[in-house]
């Protein structure tokens, strides 16, 4: 009774003051909440095409969704914030966290690419972020403890518009094969369902009204998961990793995914009655990032990182004693070998010979020289091919350059095992995205494996890393093996 009397008095007072307020009285206790969702941003703060970047998206959210930082909104991400264009990769994701802080993100899943620059870097990025990085299914292998020392949390309870919302994170169990395995060697990625059940159980004590999941997990795994945990009353699951465009419902759970690179976003709107503790309505959709007026604050941050990227081009990576032509075998070999070094799970790397364009000059080598050598916006794609398919791909191309295989008089041996390529075995083969798209006569690659995995790693990045680790100088010039 005690709580009803003041409410009654307030109601009478408001009725006396203003008829308009009285009309709203029937909705007292109804709380609204809009979730704006992105995933697989991959460093594309500038956007892949003009006016489709982070600044435009924030502007669009303000115009179209009425978004404001202190309003009834939750900004969630499905992870993979970096590894992409130079503006993200050369600074190991720092600019992306700054952009996402400015946009007002509230929580994110941890994507496999969050591990690309090592655990120390991830710890720094998490410390820099104003929002938590969530994954309930990661633990240290040695002691089975959650990696809280890195700043990774299982879940976060966020109060927005008077609603207590639990957000639980999940990270793909394929992470060890989709980032450099060395970086996650000490971590275990656990199956989703048992972890989700345990975390949801622990959250019961936190008195939450809505439970959401942000998952760097493809829809092929997320749909059956939503079905399997229907009893947990999860209102929303956001996915990631497979760059799908999804707004749908499985049972009572809304599934969202935007296809990445800030090109689109997904949204869900909830109405919740706090008096009856019931979710009244929800709706959901996917939207294009178009016609948004660029947000000046985010635009300024992006300009700053663009300038930093420009100046980075003059950074000296090493010293070269003599000019090497783009067609030089030594140079070609170093490029494909650097891809294999980046991905120790891969068996073979194949690059089309014309992927290298300009000579590597004599003297000090800058990043600009490497950009000139490998000028295209290609990424490295990992495909699974059997021995016969590998041979067909090699034969189809015009004299491609190959790492991981040894040529004998009549055959090809796999360097890792010293054995002949086997039609009954599957090999992890790295190619560039131009080849995977069928360029230069390589159409058969995608026919053999139509689910090739785009690592999002730029095809020049492993060479940049190789050059930086050689510590060459005028006295000790680079050695091309």
Which run of H or E residues covers position 236?
Answer: strand 234-238
Give the CB-nearest residue to Zn ion. 241
Q: Which stretch binds Zn ion (CB under 5 A): 44-52, 236-244, 377-385, 424-432?
A: 236-244
3-state secondary structure of 238: strand
Contact window for Zn ion (CB under 5 A) among 23-31, 100-108, 117-125, 239-247: 239-247
Measure CA of the first residue to CA of the last residue in the chain; give whole Å: 84
In the bound state with Zn ion, the residue whose beta carbon lies nearer, of 40 and 347, is 40
Cβ nearer to Zn ion, comparing 95 with 111:
111
CB of 260 to Zn ion, least distance (A): 9
4-23 footprint of Zn ion as x/- string (CB under 5 A): --------------------
Q: How far is the CB of 70 from Zn ion (least distance, A)?
A: 31
3-state secondary structure at position 387: helix
> Is 380 within 8 Å of 386 (Cβ atoms)?
no
Return the number of the residue (31 or 113) whose C-beta is nearest Zn ion. 113
Beta carbon nearer to Zn ion, 217 or 393 = 217
Give the per-residue contact string, 185-224, with Zn ion (x = CB under 5 A; - = no): ----------------------------------------
Number of H helices, E strands in the chain: 16, 23
Quick one: 442 or 459, whose CB is closer to Zn ion? 459
In the complex with Zn ion, which residue's Cβ is closer, 81 or 241?
241
Task: Show the site string, 355-394: x = touches Zn ion by CB under 5 A, - = not.
Answer: ----------------------------------------
Total count of residues recorded for the chain: 481
Whichever of 80 and 98 has its CB closer to Zn ion, that residue is 80
Q: What is the nearest approach in angstroms of Zn ion to the Cβ of residue 170?
A: 12
**Contacting Zn ion (CB under 5 A), which of 41, 80, 343, 449?**
80
Helix (H, G, I), strand (E, B) or coil at 380: strand
* Region for 243 from its dihedrals, namely left if φ exceeds 0, alpha if ψ lies in -120 to 50, beta otherwise: left
Task: Choose which of 31, 81, 241, 261 interacts with Zn ion (CB under 5 A).
Answer: 241
Q: Does 261 bind Zn ion (CB under 5 A)?
A: no
Interaction residues for Zn ion, span 85-124 (CB under 5 A): 111-112
CB 243, min distance to Zn ion, A: 9
For 111-218, where are the alpha helices, taking DSSP H only?
118-128, 175-178, 192-203
Please state, in angstroms and rounded to a whole number, the distance separating the CA atoms of residues 91 and 469: 17
- List strand residue ranges (DSSP E) for 103-225, in order: 107-109, 133-134, 138-140, 155-160, 163-171, 187-189, 210-216
Distances (CA, A) of 44 to 47, 50, 418: 5, 11, 41
Helices (H), 140-182: 175-178
Q: Which is nearer to Zn ion, 77 or 378 (CB)?
A: 77
Annotate 328-372 with DSSP letters as a single string. Answer: -HHHHHHHHHHHHHH-TT--EEEE-GGG--SPBPSEEEEHHHHHH
Contacts of 463 (CB under 8 A, 6+ apart): 334, 335, 338, 370, 373, 374
Shortest Å distance, C-beta 278 to Zn ion: 36
Q: CB of 39: closest distance to Zn ion in angstroms?
A: 9
Q: Rounded distance, CA 133 to CA 155, Å?
A: 9
Stretch that binds Zn ion, among 21-29, 72-80, 352-360, 374-382 (CB under 5 A): 72-80
Write down the least CB distance from residue 307 to Zn ion, Å: 29
Give dist(CA 270, CA 280) in Å, integer: 8
Read off the DSSP letter of residue 388: H
Q: Which stretch binds Zn ion (CB under 5 A): 78-86, 134-142, 145-153, 387-395?
A: 78-86
CB nearer Zn ion, residue 80 or residue 347: 80
To Zn ion, the closest distance from the beta carbon of 456 in angstroms equals 8
List of residues contacting Zn ion (CB under 5 A): 80, 111-112, 241
């Amino acid at each position: 009774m005690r709580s009803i009397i003041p409410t009654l008095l307030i109601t009478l007072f408001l009725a006396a003051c203003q008829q308009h307020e009285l009309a709203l009285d029937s909705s007292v206790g109804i709380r609204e909440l809009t979730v704006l969702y992105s995933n697989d941003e991959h460093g594309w703060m500038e956007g892949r095409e003009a006016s489709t970047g982070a600044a435009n998206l924030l502007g669009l959210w303000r115009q179209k969704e009425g978004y404001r930082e202190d309003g009834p909104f939750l900004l969630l991400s499905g992870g993979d914030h970096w590894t992409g264009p130079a503006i993200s990769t050369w600074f190991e994701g720092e600019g992306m966290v700054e952009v996402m802080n400015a946009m007002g993100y509230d929580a994110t899943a941890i994507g496999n690419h969050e591990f690309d620059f090592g655990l120390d870097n991830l710890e720094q990025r998490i410390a820099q972020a104003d929002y938590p990085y969530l994954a309930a299914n990661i633990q240290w292998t040695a002691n089975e403890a959650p990696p809280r020392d890195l700043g990774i949390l299982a879940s976060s309870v966020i109060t927005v518009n008077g609603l207590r919302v639990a957000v639980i994170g999940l990270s793909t169990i394929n992470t060890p094969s989709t980032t450099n395995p060395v970086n996650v060697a000490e971590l275990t990625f656990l199956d989703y369902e048992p972890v989700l059940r345990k975390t949801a159980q622990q959250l019961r004590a936190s008195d939450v009204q809505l439970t959401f999941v942000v998952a760097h997990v493809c829809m092929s795994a997320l749909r059956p998961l939503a079905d399997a945990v229907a009893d947990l009353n999860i209102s929303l699951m956001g996915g990631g990793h497979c760059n799908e465009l999804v707004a749908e419902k499985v049972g009572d759970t809304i599934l969202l995914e935007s296809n990445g690179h800030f090109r689109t976003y997904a949204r869900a709107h909830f109405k919740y009655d706090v008096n009856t503790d019931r979710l009244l309505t929800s709706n959901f959709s996917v939207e294009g990032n178009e016609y948004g007026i660029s947000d000046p604050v985010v635009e300024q941050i992006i300009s700053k990182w663009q300038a930093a990227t420009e100046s980075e081009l003059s950074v000296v990576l090493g010293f070269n004693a003599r000019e090497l032509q783009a067609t030089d075998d030594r140079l070609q070999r170093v490029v494909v070998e650097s891809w294999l070094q980046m991905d120790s799970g891969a068996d073979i790397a194949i690059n089309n010979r014309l992927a290298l364009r300009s000579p590597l000059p004599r003297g000090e080598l800058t990043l600009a020289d490497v950009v000139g050598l490998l000028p295209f916006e290609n990424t490295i794609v990992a495909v699974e091919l059997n021995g016969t398919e590998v041979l067909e791909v090699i034969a189809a191309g015009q004299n491609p350059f190959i790492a991981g295989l040894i040529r004998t008089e009549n055959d090809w041996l796999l360097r890792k095992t010293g054995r002949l390529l086997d039609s009954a075995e599957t090999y992890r083969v790295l190619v560039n995205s131009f080849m995977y798209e069928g360029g230069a006569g390589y159409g058969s690659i995608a026919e053999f494996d139509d689910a090739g995995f785009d690592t999002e790693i730029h095809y020049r990045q492993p060479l940049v890393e190789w050059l930086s680790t050689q510590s060459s100088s005028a006295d000790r010039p680079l050695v091309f093996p």
